[in-house]
Amino acid sequence: MGASALTGPVEIIGTGLIGTSIALACRRAGLEVLLTDAAPDHVRTASGLGAGRPREAVDVPQLVVVAVPPDALGAAIRQTLDAAGPETFVTDVGSVKGAPLDAVASHPAVSRYVGSHPMAGTEHSGPLSASAAMFDGRPWAITPGPDATPAAVHVVEALVRVCGAVPVHLPPGEHDRAVARTSHVPHLMAALVAGTLAGATPAHLALSGTGVRDVTRVAGGDPRLYSQIIGGNAEAVAALLGEVRERLDLVLEAVAGKDRVGLESLLAYGQAGTRAIPGKHGAAPQPMEAVRVAVPDHPGELARLFADAGASGVNIEDVRIDHDPGRPVGLVELDVIETRAEELRVALESNGWTTHR
Amino acid sequence: MGASALTGPVEIIGTGLIGTSIALACRRAGLEVLLTDAAPDHVRTASGLGAGRPREAVDVPQLVVVAVPPDALGAAIRQTLDAAGPETFVTDVGSVKGAPLDAVASHPAVSRYVGSHPMAGTEHSGPLSASAAMFDGRPWAITPGPDATPAAVHVVEALVRVCGAVPVHLPPGEHDRAVARTSHVPHLMAALVAGTLAGATPAHLALSGTGVRDVTRVAGGDPRLYSQIIGGNAEAVAALLGEVRERLDLVLEAVAGKDRVGLESLLAYGQAGTRAIPGKHGAAPQPMEAVRVAVPDHPGELARLFADAGASGVNIEDVRIDHDPGRPVGLVELDVIETRAEELRVALESNGWTTHR
């Protein structure tokens, strides 16, 4: 069952960054969108952006998306279930899934509630930073409780697909442990690094490169919002942060003790971790093929090859060069997706290159 | 004195990522570039990319750039000074400045050596990832020792400008303390976070977003290279990392103790740190002006305004919206660089918008 289970209307409660982006994605798909927010100005802004129209009392949404800040979430889901008719399903998009479910576990309508969580967003807040494309290709967790009906799960999964995201099903507690690792602890570590910059001299800060910007970027997010999110996942976060502190002690010992081997192995463990992060869409790697090209050993010939390869439109995934000590010719291997290898060969040959089949 | 103090030839010793990028930038500026590397294949690759030609015994470079890995650096600078004639200046591009200077402090030709360090690079290595644009707009530290002549400093500063970078002058010891803060400790913290992912289950890793990718990206760099760099700055790094460990203890207490206020203030300190990082080029902020536009309160009107503003080509730095409770019209303020405010007003008025002067 794909996106067609969602026919609308969709009501968005909380027209902040995430709520408004979901609204824009639904409008992009031609669905009717109703907007609700405690602040009428936010509804006007979101509506002005094309995200939908203000909800009226007579409206009967098919799906309500509760997108309010974490501390207000449990109560907002409860009130939504109170007001929802038998045809209305409810989801929320909070960053922690255990607590909201606990807040409504005994509600008579809980079977129509399925929590979810899009892994998307920026360090900005508010509807003006929203985008219909916010969730394209992103993972979006779906975390039904034990009482949720399949129909409710299907409608929420359809929302995820309408927003262009990739559904990832897991139980609420497991979700919370996962995001402690993939989101909350990284955020705290980024904030710790950023904190060392807060009092630094301008002369030192002048030597900032892309590395420190990358490491600290996420720490630019709203402290009040993130203290709610992380505070709401305290157990999982504290457990993992304790492990990190022990490893930090090992790093400190290795640096202070000039233990190069120890330091290198800790860095290697980190490098392995960066390779564990899945590629786009969590897609399986595609089979590659090596296109072999003879490259004369003159200045600039390699550059010319890469320019011609770039012009072919076939993406080069990796390159190996074998210089032949006996002759002034090198063999270059260009790794491309198997199905496009011949296309690249033909393009290069038309530019005078010699390829090997 | 600008880039004209550098007339060439420039010799690059070590045609890795940084060396080859410097070579390409010099070739971009029309300078003659000579290439040296312990591995002849690397010279052939760099030359193939258009980075220069192999150095010959008869060549007399104006400036030699030593771009070899950290552990080989001191010896390589010494050998270069041994071989350099009276017209030849020497710099290196190592990430730590104290140790290389110590290695040559008593050399008879030390007055012609000025260490430097471009704050640029990627987590990739090798000449194939090099780019002439690598240093555009980046800071590049210049760290003369007490014996360096002004002529030597000028030639190195000219190299920095030829590469499109922004020179930042500071003494070697201060540089090392600065990069402990802006580069080495962030790298170690990124590696610690990445290490928590190395053994995680695929189901958990599936919930990875841009935040954790940003935090861990720099940890993808070569462990052997970074253990040399960070190990070479052990004192400054250990001191700062010790401070970070104490703050991590505070974060852990706040999370485990459900101390929301404490957690929020630690996060706020981190947010302030992200704002301390200078903007592009370390440029001073330009004066802004608010362009005021009346926006009718209909669905989609705001989106139309932003589309028209985008089409004007004038960059919007910030936006404020004031909805008028008495009338169905909102007032939008678009902050733009003062010198382009009138251009934006005219563009919007030509699209039927009402602006206020």
In this complex, do B227 and A48 lie within 8 Å of one another by their Cβ atoms?
Answer: no
* Two structure tokens written together for A261: 């081997």
Q: Say whether pLDDT at A181 is over 60.
A: yes
Question: Average of pLDDT values for B7-27?
Answer: 97
Question: Average of pLDDT values for A125-153?
Answer: 93
* Two structure tokens written together for B293: 């536009």
Instruction: State the pLDDT at residue A282.
Output: 45
Which strand ranges, in their side-by-side order, compose the sheet holding B115-118?
Answer: B115-118, B139-143, B166-169
With cut-offs at 50, 70 and 90, classify the pLDDT of residue B282.
Answer: very low
**Mean pLDDT lowest among A53-57, A86-90, A275-279:** A275-279
Q: Count contacts between A and B (CB, < 8 Å).
A: 404
Instruction: State the pLDDT at residue A287.
Output: 86
Task: Specify the higher pLDDT residue, A64 or B335.
Answer: A64
In this complex, do A49 and B300 lie within 8 Å of one another by their Cβ atoms?
Answer: yes
What phi, psi does A197 have (nearest 5°)? -90, -20
Q: Which residue blocks in chain A are alpha helix, DSSP H?
A: 17-28, 40-48, 70-83, 98-104, 150-162, 172-179, 185-198, 202-205, 210-216, 223-231, 234-256, 260-276, 301-312, 341-349
In this complex, do B208 and A265 lie within 8 Å of one another by their Cβ atoms?
Answer: no
With cut-offs at 50, 70 and 90, classify the pLDDT of residue A285.
Answer: low
**Mean pLDDT lowest among A114-128, B58-72, B331-345:** A114-128
User: How far is CA A207 from each of CA A140, A233, B20, B67, B172, rounded to the nearest angstrom?
Assistant: 37, 36, 22, 19, 13
With cut-offs at 50, 70 and 90, classify the pLDDT of residue A80.
Answer: very high
In this complex, do B209 and A300 lie within 8 Å of one another by their Cβ atoms?
Answer: no
Question: Average of pLDDT values for B187-212?
Answer: 94
| CB neighbourhood size of B307 (10 A) | 11
In this complex, do A278 and B202 lie within 8 Å of one another by their Cβ atoms?
Answer: yes
Separation of alpha carbons A213 and B214, rounded Å: 9
Separation of alpha carbons A176 and B340, rounded Å: 48
Task: Specify the higher pLDDT residue, A59 or B297.
Answer: A59
Q: Which amino acid is at A17?
A: L
Q: Say whether pLDDT at B319 is over 90.
A: no
**Bond preceding residue B9 cis, omega within 30 of 0:** yes
In this complex, do B198 and A168 lie within 8 Å of one another by their Cβ atoms?
Answer: no
Q: Say whether pLDDT at B166 is over 80.
A: yes
Return the residue in A15, A213, A227 with the most chain B beta carbons within 10 A, the one to mutate for interface testing: A227
Return the residue in B17, B37, B189 with the most chain A beta carbons within 10 A, the one to mutate for interface testing: B189
Q: Delineate the domains of chain B, giving CATH numbers in brackets.
A: 3-170 (3.40.50.720), 176-276 (1.10.3660.10), 288-356 (3.30.70.260)
Considering only alpha carbons, which residue of chain A is nearest residue B129? Answer: A319
With beta carbons less than 8 A apart as the criterion, state whether A83 and A58 touch.
no
With beta carbons less than 8 A apart as the criterion, state whether B181 and A204 touch.
yes
Q: Say whether pLDDT at B165 is over 90.
A: yes
Q: Say whether pLDDT at A331 is over 90.
A: no
Residues in B closer than 8 angstroms to A223, CB to CB, are 264-265, 267-268, 270-271
Separation of alpha carbons A293 and A291, rounded Å: 7
Considering only alpha carbons, which residue of chain B is nearest residue A191? Answer: B270
With beta carbons less than 8 A apart as the criterion, state whether A277 and B205 touch.
yes
- Out of A195, A212, A219, the one facing B247 most closely (by C-beta) is A195
Q: Say whether pLDDT at A2 is over 80.
A: no
> Is the confidence metric ipTM above 0.85 for this complex?
no
- CA-based torsion, A92, A97, A100, A105: positive or negative: positive
* Strand blocks (E) in chain B: 10-13, 33-36, 53-54, 63-66, 89-92, 115-118, 139-143, 166-169, 288-296, 318-323, 329-337, 354-356
Per-residue pLDDT tens digits for B290-314: 999 999 888 888 889 998 998 898 9
In this complex, do B40 and A220 lie within 8 Å of one another by their Cβ atoms?
Answer: no
Question: Average of pLDDT values for A199-219?
Answer: 92
Question: In 3D, which of A192, A155, A181 has the Cα closest to residue A7?
Answer: A155
